[in-house]
Amino acid sequence: MPKFSANISLLFAELAYLDRFQAAAEAGFEAVEILFPYEIAARETRRALVANGLKLVLINAPPPNYAGGQPGFAAVPGEEARFQRDITRVMRYVEQLRPGMVHIMAGYEQGAQAQQTFVRNLQWAADHAPSQQFTIEPLNPGDQPGYFLNDYDLAADVLDLVDRPNVGLQYDTYHAEVIHGDALKVWERFHSRAVHVQIGAAPDRSEPGRGMMDFPALFQAFDDAGYSGWVSAEYKPSKPRTVDTLGWRPAN
């Protein structure tokens, strides 16, 4: 059975940030992911991880633009120097937080030039930090209009062009279902590229068990494919208390 982690940017959001680590551990999770851990000193997050015996699976890059800019620009032509500065900043957090994965967000641009820019930036990041695993994730155009990486076939093309062993696919059941209509078929086609998995139900990105997606079949497919990485619960709980939405987890 897959090993599950909790995205504490979405789960346990009824609690203060630093309290979510203990809540995740008490709920039986051994690892967490954090979308943007940049608002608080890295040492505080690291202390909370260690105190609760948790591994950090993933963070997003780049840091948010607190002046109101778009969250991500790796595919935006003309932003290459900014991308390199921000990845360098991210790596300072990585040194302290030690996440297994860093998800590089493509940003909002379209066309061949955007793809070329995205590929070059990913290659730069991979070569700049060869010991760090990076991911890219297709996001559905309903939630993220204009986002460059909006299709799994496009993600496969980008990965082929990047051609770096430390850049892989981040597969998300919610986005896969919304984009292509069948998350299980998407997994069957692209699982060999997947280095990280996230789960959430369509159509509302709530916990598994809501909607029409067959999560037991997906969990079995992860096992059948030999996937041994983390499967992160990245959903918006349908109830005020996150612990009341965890019934989807299979019994050990």
pLDDT in tens, the chain (252 residues): 899 999 999 999 999 999 999 999 999 999 999 999 999 999 999 999 999 999 999 999 998 776 566 779 999 999 999 999 999 999 999 999 999 999 999 999 999 999 999 999 999 999 999 999 999 999 999 999 999 999 999 999 999 999 999 999 999 999 999 999 999 999 999 999 999 999 999 999 999 999 889 999 999 999 999 999 999 999 999 999 999 999 999 876
Cα angle: 189, vertex 138, 98; to 5 degrees: 100
- The total of other beta-carbon atoms located within 10 Å of residue 91's CB is 15
E-strand stretches of the chain? 3-7, 31-34, 55-61, 101-104, 133-136, 167-172, 194-199, 230-233
Beta-bridge mates of residue 5: 232
**How far from each other are the two terminal CA atoms of the chain, in whole angstroms?**
8
Task: Give the whole-angstrom CA distance, residue 181 versus residue 46.
Answer: 38
Q: Active-site residues: which are they?
A: 137, 234
